[in-house]
Every structure is written in structure tokens, then in C-alpha cells.
Amino acid sequence: MIVNTLIVGGGPAGLAPLISASRSGLLDRILADGIVLAERGSTIGAGRIGRYAINSDSTGNTLTSCVTDNPHPTLAALREHPVVQAVAAYQGGSVPLALVGEFMMVLGDALRDLMIASGNEVLLGHEAISSKKLSDGFWRTKLRRLSDGNDIFVESRFVVMATGGHQPRSYLERRSIGGRPLLPSCAGRLIQSDEALTAAGLAAIGDRLAKGRSQRIAIVGSSSSAMACANAVLQSPFGRELSAGAVTLLHRRPLHIFYPSAAEALADGYDEFGSEDICPISGFVFRLSGLRLEARDLLMAVRGIGGRPPEERLRLQQVGADLDRRALEILDEADVVIAALGYRPRALPLLAPSGRRLEVFADDTGTRPLVDSECRVLDRHGAPIEGLFGIGLGSGFFSRELVGGELSFSGQTNSLWQWQNAVGGLIARQLQTAEVTKPLEPTPIAAKRILLGLQSF
């Protein structure tokens, strides 16, 4: 099959360019150019988001804006869907991620039907194995059909990698906390945030705590995920029985609080910001790095800011860059150590025309991104690879010109709203910038060829 675009991964990030295109009037053009979406699972839309036993850090009305503010008739028709209405009912509050997963499946079903109706393909139960650069500039991607193990191939001018992120344990063998890596010293007591934020993960933490000596938990990280872990632990059945100071959050970077304006921050007695911490576009304080919604409320309670009821079960401990004996003591005393140190990209293996492996810029150290400020995948030297885009968790994307934010911010941004708007739009526009240099097969014919297994590498 030869098409203009192949999207690898049908989760929230994989759908984002299509959703953004539907809002800007580009979707019908992208569908007319020819597109295939390949997804390992049996549905598209939700990815792994519905498995987490926590609430969103985006409000209900923000999440539903991709439907309520959408001019495309297919997406606009979902405004009255019961699941969309259920999410919208949360208005300015956070939404259970299980419900957000259902919402994304509704979007996925609508986009799948739209793609199929326009003569394109959604290949469910297909795992991407590798993608090889061809001499004419196209990419030939090997997909394995999980039902029978057979391989099929898609040639495309563009490949969008939305393959998600993961938390390799090897990263914890190198990342120093207080002068010592978490592994192997904490091996028998360690759980990563991706698991800790699920119902099964929280149950495992409760079991370990019940069998422990100190009844103490140490959480390592400075991101919203770290505070989400703290909140999930405290709100769990076993968390309600914890004593004062039983949970310690070890963080290297300062923890910031989001405010809609400097005046509102100062009214709460929060003055830990300067002009470089205020977004020049919106006026928001710590627009990108500040904690929001439930994580924000928890931090304010611990800090005694804004009149929140005090939360004595959680302690904050900032960790030094070098040897920090107090941090090591906290880790050694804890029955459970939760590592909330972010995600690394799960990049699709790439091959040169010769067949040799193409290395990408990102690695497991977490210091280098997969993509640049235009979502282009970077080679090992940091140069963009023609025809390859990446989006989603762990991709390392950031563009101040595109998303704004405070000048003091450094890092990556992972927001469903941003993916479905500016970031997805960045990819959608680039999918139409290059002239296709070979004739594209009509998708129904190509689909028939796939079913007959006539493709070869």
C-alpha cells in the first residue's frame, strides 16, 4: 500500500493531528491525500489513559473543547453524546481518567468511521516493527498482524510516530538521587509512577506498606506526576490511616503553583515568582511548570497557602545536586519508594536504505528529546529526519513560539489540549507541504493487496 501518511499508534497523541486538522479545516484534505493508521490494540482513541486511577489535570470544559468548538460535522455531532456530556459536567474541575479514556474512545470511533468512509484504512491489531527509508524518499514500514503473525508493509511519504513513552529501569541505574542511583539500592521496594497510578499499583503499595517496618513512603520527582502519586496514596484506603510525615516527596526542582494572575497569587500570600515566571501572553503565573487542580490543592495544603486545610501526612524535601545524606536516609527508611522521574520515548526502529540501523537523538538518559520544535524526529546528530514526525508522551517536544509560557520554563510539555490544538496542527500542516513523488494507490485496492498478503519488503 502506498499512501501519503502513516500514523503509528492510535492513542490520544496519534489522533491529535487529525483532531487539530478537523478544527482548522485541513482534515478532509489529509484524508483525500491518503492515510493509514496502525494500532496494536483493538480500538483507537484511549491508549493507556483510562488505566490510571487518578483524575485529569485538565478541566472538563477544556477536554470537551475539541468537540464543542469543532466546525467539522463529524466531531461536532458528538456534542450530545452521553460520554461527552458526562465529561462536560465536570466543567472547571478535574475528570477521572477512566472517563477521559471513554471520551477518547468516542472520538476514536468517530474518526475511524470517517477514515474508512473516505476510503482510508485503520489497521487494528497491528504492531509496527520497523520503518525503512527508501531511495525515493518514502518510508516502508513493516507491520505485524498480531492475529496470525504475518507481516504487511505500508509505503508512505510521512510517518507520524505516536508510540507512547515508557519508564525503563535502566534509567534508574544511572539517575543519581542524593548522590546515589535508586537502583539497585531500592530494588525490592521500588515502583514506578506509571504503575503506581493504577488501581493495581496502589493495591500493591498498600500490601507492601502493611508488611513494612516504618509505614513510610518516599516519592521521587518534581513533576505533576510525582504530586499525583502523593495525592493518590493519601486518598487511598490505606493512605487515610497514615501518620503525620509518613509520605515524603523528594524533589530537586522547586515545586510551583499555577495562578491565573499575579494579583491572585499575591492575594493568597504567594510571592515566589518574578517577571520571568509570568506568561507574557496570558498573564498566568507558572503557566507551564505550575501544578494545577488536585495537585495544586495538595501542594497549597502542605505549604499552608490560600487557606487550604493543612495536610500533615505529606512532607516536602528538596534534594541537593550532590551528596544529600538526609535524602538517602529517607530513601533507606521507606517501605515503598515511588519513582516519578518521567518517561522516555518508545521510538520505532529505523533503517537506512542500506538496511543499517538509524540511531535517533533521544536516549534513556532523559536529557535529549526525540523531536525538535516542529515535531520532526531527530537523528543521532540532532538533525531532523525527512518525513518523520513524533508526538506524545516522552517525545520531549517544546516550542516557546508555539505554546508560549513563562520564560523561566525548561523541559517538555505534555498536554492533551496542546496535542489536539497547536502541536497536532503543527504536524497536520507539514503533512501537506511536500509534493508526492510517486503515484498513490487507491486505498481500497491497497487494502485488498494487504489482505491477500502480496506485499514484500
pLDDT of residue 444: 42
Domains of the chain with bracketed CATH: 2-166+344-452 (3.50.50.60), 169-339 (no CATH)
Percentage of the chain beyond pLDDT 90 is 75
**CA pair distance 244, 341, nearest whole angstrom:** 25
User: Tens digits of per-residue pLDDT, 19-65?
Assistant: 999 999 999 999 999 999 999 999 999 999 999 999 998 999 999 99
User: Tens digits of per-residue pLDDT, 304-331?
Assistant: 998 888 999 999 999 987 889 999 999 9
**CA pair distance 143, 123, nearest whole angstrom:** 9
User: Tens digits of per-residue pLDDT, 139-166?
Assistant: 999 999 999 999 999 999 999 999 988 8
User: Tens digits of per-residue pLDDT, 246-292?
Assistant: 999 999 999 999 999 999 999 999 999 999 999 998 999 999 999 99
Q: How confident is the model at residue 454 (pLDDT cuts 50, 70, 90)?
A: very low
Of 150, 135, 145, give the one whose Cα is nearest residue 351: 135
Residue 84 has pLDDT above 60, yes or no: yes
pTM of the model: 0.89
In this structure, is the dihedral angle defined by the CA atoms of residues 86, 92, 97 and 102, taken in order, positive or negative? positive
pLDDT of residue 21: 95
Q: Which residue has the cell 516542529?
A: 374
As a whole number, the mean pLDDT across the chain is 90
